Amino acid sequence: MADASLDGIELLQSLSTEECAKLAKRCRWRRCERNEQIIDRDSDDHEVYFVVSGKVRVMDVSESGREISFVDIPAGGLFGELAAIDGRTRSANVIALTDTVVAALPARAFVELLQEHPSVSLAVLRHLATIIRESSRRIMDLSVHSAQARVMTELLHLGLAASQDGDSGRISPLPPHADIASRVSTTRETVARVVSDLVKSGIARKSGHDLIIEDLAALSERAQELPH
C-alpha cells in the first residue's frame, strides 16, 4: 500500500519516524468497506490492528439478538491487543463504521515492540487502564440504573466531553438512537422518548443533527432522580 504509514497512531508517538516505518513493514495492510466485519468473536487469530483511517466499532450480540456496542475507535487507535497479550480467542466483533484502513501487526511483533520500547508499554498500560475504568462505569450503570437513567447518563457523558464551560455541551452530531441504545442496553424507542422529554423540559434542544445540552447539572440531577 503506497500510503502505508503508522505516524498517526497515538500509542506509537514515542517512536521515531524510522522505527514506525520498520513497524509498518511488518504489518498486513487492509482496506475495509463500511459495515465490513474485521474481527469475528471467538476467532483464534491474535493480530493487533491499528486504525490508520476511518472508524471501527467493537460490539457483540446478546443471546436475544440485541446488538451491544462497547466502543467506537477512530483513526489513531488500536484494537485486538488483548488476544495478542494473553493468546486467547477474540472477545468481541469489530466492524468498520466507515471506509477504513487498518494495519494488522502479528502478535509476536507486538510483544517484541512492548519489550523493546518501555514508552510504548506504558502507553498500552494506560490504554488498558482506561478500558477497565470505562467497563467498571458501564457495569455499575447497568446494575443500578433504570433504562431511562442509563440513557440520560450516556447523554451526560457525551455532553460533558463536548463542553467548553462545564455548564452546557453540544453533542455534534447526536449518535443515532439505535447506537445509543446499544451502548446502554435498551431500545431506540426509549432513547427517543428520553431525548424528547429533555427537549420538552428545556434541559436540551435540537439543532440540525446536534443535541445541545443547555444545563448539564440539571441533566445529572434528572438522571439521579429516576428510579433505579
> What is residue 19's predicted lDDT score, i.e. its pLDDT?
95
* Segment-wise mean pLDDT, segments of 10 residues, the chain, 228 residues: 82 94 95 94 91 94 74 94 92 94 97 96 95 84 80 91 88 91 87 95 94 94 76
Which three cell numbers, joined as nine digits, stand for 136? 467498571
HEC readout, 130-197: HHHHHHHHHHHHHHHCCHHHHHHHHHHHHHHHHECCCCCEEECCCCCHHHHHHHHCCCHHHHHHHHHH
pLDDT value for 44:
85
Q: Residue 70: its pLDDT value, please?
A: 86
**Cell numbers describing residue 13:** 508517538
pTM above 0.75, yes or no: no
Q: What is the pLDDT of residues 185-206, one digit of tens each?
A: 888 899 999 999 999 999 999 9
> Residue 173 class from Cβ within 10 Å (0-12 exposed, 13-18 middle, 19+ buried)?
exposed
**Which pLDDT score, from 0 to 100, does residue 1 have?**
64
The predicted pLDDT at position 83 comes to: 93
Peptide bond into 173 cis (omega under 30): yes
CA distance 84 to 110: 7
pLDDT of residue 52: 97
Measured distance CA(66)–CA(26) in Å, rounded: 37
Distance CA 73, CA 194 (A): 26
Tell me whether residue 218 is exposed, middle or buried, using C-beta atoms within 10 angstroms of its C-beta: 0 to 12, 13 to 18, 19 or more: middle
Instruction: List, for residues 80-108, the tens digit of each pLDDT value.
Output: 999 999 999 898 999 999 999 999 999 99
pLDDT of residue 210: 94
Positive or negative torsion for Cα 7, 10, 14, 15: negative
